[in-house]
Amino acid sequence: MRMLQALRSGALLAQSVLGAVTGHSRQANTTTRVGPSLDRWPSGLHLAVDYYPSQWPESMWEPDMARMRDANISYVRINEFDWALLEPSEGQYNFTLLDRTLELCGKYGLKAIVGTPTATPPNWLTEKYDTDFVDVTNATLQFGSRRHYSFSSYDYRRLSRGITTKLAERYGANANVVAWQLDNEFGCHTTTVSYDHNAIKRFRAWLETKYGTIENLNARQGRVFWSSQYAGFEAVQPPFLEVYTTNEAHTLDWYTFSSDMVIEFAREQADILRRHAPGQAITHNFMMLFTEFDHHKFAREVGIDLATFDQYALAGVFAFDWLTEDEMAGSLRQGLPDYQAMHDALYRGVSGAAYGRNAGPFGVMEMEPGVLNWNQYRVSPLDGMVRLWTHELFAASGDLVNYFRWRQAPFAQEQTLSALFTSDNVEDQGYVEQQIFANEDLPLLRAEINNAQTEQQQQQADVALVFDYTSNWVWSIEPYSGSWDPKSASYKDVALKYTDLVYTFYSSLRRLGLSVDIIDPYQSLAGYKMIVVPSLPIVPAAFDAALASYGTAGPVVFGPHTGSKSADFATVAGLNPGLNSTLSRRLPMRVTRVETPPAFARSGVEYGGARYNITAREEWIECERRAGTDNEKHTSSNATITYTSRHRGPEGSKPAACARDGLHYLAFNPPADLLVAYLGDLAVGAGIRDLAGRGADKANDLGRFVRLLRRGNLLWALNYGVEAAAVPEVKGGTVIIGGKEKSGQIPGAGVVVWKLAG
């Protein structure tokens, strides 16, 4: 086949490197729409890889596909960056490359996940149309990289619909296409929030729909403060380029609006695909620790069939600035032991939101097989970790592991990002480990796991952790610490982030060996034995009702800042957790002051005879509600943790946590060791056992590196450490993977899988 003219420069550049190498080596949408379906995505355990034929000589395409088949690859993700090839000039289309790629997929028994190419608008488009992305400094970002568009652009919305329609019409019935990926990494590179004139126009209309009148907006946003009332909606600006701190309620509106624009943009593409490709699945590749838009609302309103995310484990080591050097050194080449699993649980829940459930099909759309190209320090994974990460996704009830990418690019921006093969087509370590998993482990797992999707809907964890994107925005808007930066319209160097709390709570539950679902405030609490809410400043009415229905079915633990704000970002009546809520009625307490002390302040708490240092959040609380003017009676709760902070008076005299009627409020930033003790005691009291069948308390703390996961009748132990570590005794279990190691031990970067009796 003749080489496409549009591909010559890239392919020839690749050929110059390869030489003579051969290919052997929350406002609901009410429009009636077609929803997600489990029937579109094949059940089972699937391996996949990213492939970009435009970047390689045509002579390599077919040998590559043949080798993918032989490598036990089922799916190939393609096309997400190819708009300029598909439409080299406006209205002139060339589908030769994609046609040929899909033809080869069919020939070698592969199925394609086709990306809509809107993450990379072509130059002819940006030169002609009003699509520019404007950042918070009011700078217009230029063509030349990716994601250089505004979700609010009227022109870009229309052009996006156009290319999506062309692709869907041509390939919507193609038997070699299994799914569509919408765009690529929505919001990556801080591109969710654009300050362009189209966004401002849409924002004004969004506000008018919400508030009705400008007087209502001014009143609810508290604009009497500093005389900041707007004269009309046409005068409204986004919260940026102001001298000092922006209005908090207005900023929350802006973040919510920007999230809605992402959802609208994605929904337009999904609706087109549903019309023209009704039998093919729809997904999007979300990212890790990315909170600029509401993923649960996205899943509900876009109606994805499965959620996927891009897993780059070694980037997680640098995600939290409170980690010690020892902690970072211990995880540098393996990733944090709970970072990947936390996102597995998160996106299982995000997928469930699309189905009106707590869990749904999910997978990893990009898994790193080697060195990353964007970390501050770029290191290789410890040998064995690519295999371990693959196991971990499937152990967490995932469906898909897609390795990024087949072969390392020899040119352009990602030439230092590792792949399964080096740029000269030689097997790299990631491929070696993929082959060990594919040839040795995968057949054993497939023999035991028959219907993954049905199982995902039925297997509920013992513990639900509630994650909320709005809560993250509230914490970032007013973090009670840091210094205001007018150029970024945000606080810098904050002491504590919402995601810090979430990770600490989640990691503590994992150290206890517990099974954990991550859900949002709009998903069901029914059936869980314990609920953990790291922080929920604005308590939605739906969650308040769910909490009331949950009753005393199990302990419910809240972290700091919960129930502290109204929907309009004002201090709640009566101080948090706010009057007339389920939390305040059942747990009499109030927060009277908030401090964010540094580590050298020597703040601390005491629980169960042990002392713990705390930092970054210390709320002054009273474990009682005094009689008020609304017929409120004087009630009290129990102080379960007390402060030892020397500035708070005699040790033990001031409460740090209140509890009553199964509800617990922790008024500080809890260290993981304390949570292991506190949550462990609650788990034991609730009759919860760990995944190995033991009492889930601190006596059975799994420690720093070993973690457990269960899927059906299979139990995994994974060692995120470098050295061998002890694993719990599993009574009645038969080792099916990893049985050659010393009894009771798991090697560094090792995996053990048991088949449980019954």
Cα angle value 178/179/184 (rounded, 5°) = 145
At 29 the pLDDT is 46
Q: Is 209 a residue whose pLDDT tops 80?
A: yes
Percent of the chain with pLDDT over 70: 93
Range 273-301 burial, b when 16+ CB lie within 10 A, else e: bbebbeebbbbbbbbbbbbbbbbbbbbbb
> Residue 5 pLDDT > 60, yes or no?
no
727 close to 752: Cβ distance less than 8 angstroms: yes
In this prediction, residue 454 carries a pLDDT of 52
**How far from 198 is each of 157, 259, 265, CA to CA, in Å?**
11, 15, 14
The residues that bridge with 140 in the sheet, in sequence order, are 134
Residue 354 has a pLDDT of 98
pLDDT at 741: 61
Question: What is the mean pLDDT of the segment spanning 236-255?
Answer: 97
pLDDT at 577: 85
Greatest CA separation found in the chain?
Answer: 86
Pick among 3.40.50.2020, 3.40.50.880, 3.90.550.10, 3.30.360.10: CATH of 463-685: 3.40.50.880
Determine the residue type at 264: E
454/471: higher pLDDT: 471
Whole-angstrom distance, CA of residue 730 vs CA of residue 733: 6
Dist. CA 387–CA 432, nearest whole Å: 9
Give pLDDT, residue 366. 98
The residue among 150, 98, 106, 95 whose CA lies nearest residue 125 is 150
Q: Kindly give, in sequence order, each residue whose CB lies less than 8 Å from that of residue 513, ignoring residues fewer than 6 positions away.
A: 690, 691, 692, 694, 696, 700, 702, 708, 728
At residue 574 the predicted structure's pLDDT band, cuts being 50, 70 and 90, is confident
pTM of this structure: 0.95
Give the contacts of 468 (CB within 8 A, at least 6 positions apart). 520, 521, 536
Q: What is the mean pLDDT of residues 214-235?
A: 98
Nearest to 638 by CA among 621, 651, 650, 626: 621
Exposure letters 631-645 (e unless 16+ CB within 10 A, then b) = ebeebebebbbbbbb
DSSP-derived pairing of the beta strands 751-756 and 733-737: antiparallel
Range of lowest pLDDT (453-457, 542-546, 598-602, 731-735): 453-457
Query: Which residue of the set 185, 301, 368, 618 is catalytic?
Result: 185
Structure confidence at residue 226 (pLDDT): 96
Task: Decide if 80 is catalytic.
Answer: no
Give the CA distances from residue 624 to residues 518, 539, 595, 658, in Å, rounded to whole numbers and listed in that order.
Answer: 31, 20, 20, 9
Q: pLDDT-based confidence at 740, cuts 50/70/90?
A: low
Contacting residues for 409 by C-beta, under 8 A, at least 6 apart:
14, 52, 55, 415, 417, 419, 423
Least confident of 199-208, 621-630, 688-697: 621-630
pLDDT at 237 (0 to 100): 98
619 tagged catalytic: no
* Mean pLDDT, residues 549-569: 96
5-135+145-188+263-458: CATH class: alpha beta
Average pLDDT for residues 367-391, to the nearest whole number?
Answer: 96
**Taking 60 as the threshold, does the pLDDT of residue 758 lie above it?**
yes
Please check whether residue 508 is in contact with residue 672, taking contact to mean a CB–CB distance below 8 angstroms.
Answer: yes
Look at residue 677 and tell me whether its pLDDT is greater than 90. Answer: yes
pLDDT in tens, 74-101: 999 999 999 999 999 999 999 999 999 9
pLDDT band at 26 (very low <50, low <70, confident <90, very high): very low
The confidence score (pLDDT) of residue 10 equals 43
pLDDT tens string 699-710: 999 999 999 999
Please say if the pLDDT value at position 24 is more than 70. no
Across 593-605, average pLDDT: 96
The mean pLDDT value for 227-250 works out to 97
User: Residue 17's pLDDT is what?
Assistant: 36
Over range 391-413, report the average pLDDT. Answer: 96
Contacts for 463 with CB less than 8 Å, ≥ 6 apart = 509, 514, 515, 516, 517, 528, 529, 530, 531, 532, 683, 688
pLDDT of residue 11: 42
Give residue limits of the domains in the chain. 5-135+145-188+263-458, 463-685, 705-756
Active-site residue, from 292, 301, 366, 622: 366
Report whether pLDDT(618) > 70.
Answer: yes
Q: Is the pLDDT of residue 404 over 80?
A: yes
- What pLDDT sits at residue 32? 61
Q: For residue range 465-512, what is the model confidence (pLDDT) as tens digits? A: 999 999 999 999 999 999 999 999 999 999 999 999 999 999 999 999
- pLDDT at 73 > cutoff 90: yes
Return the DSSP state at 650.
Answer: S
Q: At what angle do helices 498-511 and 672-685 cross, to 10 degrees?
A: 50
For residue 516, pLDDT beyond 90:
yes
Confidence check: pLDDT of 281 > 90? yes
The predicted pLDDT at position 652 comes to 76
Residue 309: what residue type?
F
> Residue 359 and residue 344: Cα distance in Å, rounded?
11
Domain 705-756 has CATH 2.40.110.10: no
Question: What's the mean per-residue pLDDT of the chain?
Answer: 92
Whole-angstrom CA distances from 137 to 140, 168, 490, 736 are: 9, 38, 12, 56
CA–CA dist 354, 331 (Å, integer): 34
pLDDT at position 650: 85
Question: What is the pLDDT, as a whole number, of residue 34?
Answer: 83
- One-letter amino acid at 673 equals D
Chain segment 641-651, per-residue pLDDT in tens: 999 999 988 88
pLDDT at 665: 98
Q: Three-class SS of residue 364?
A: strand
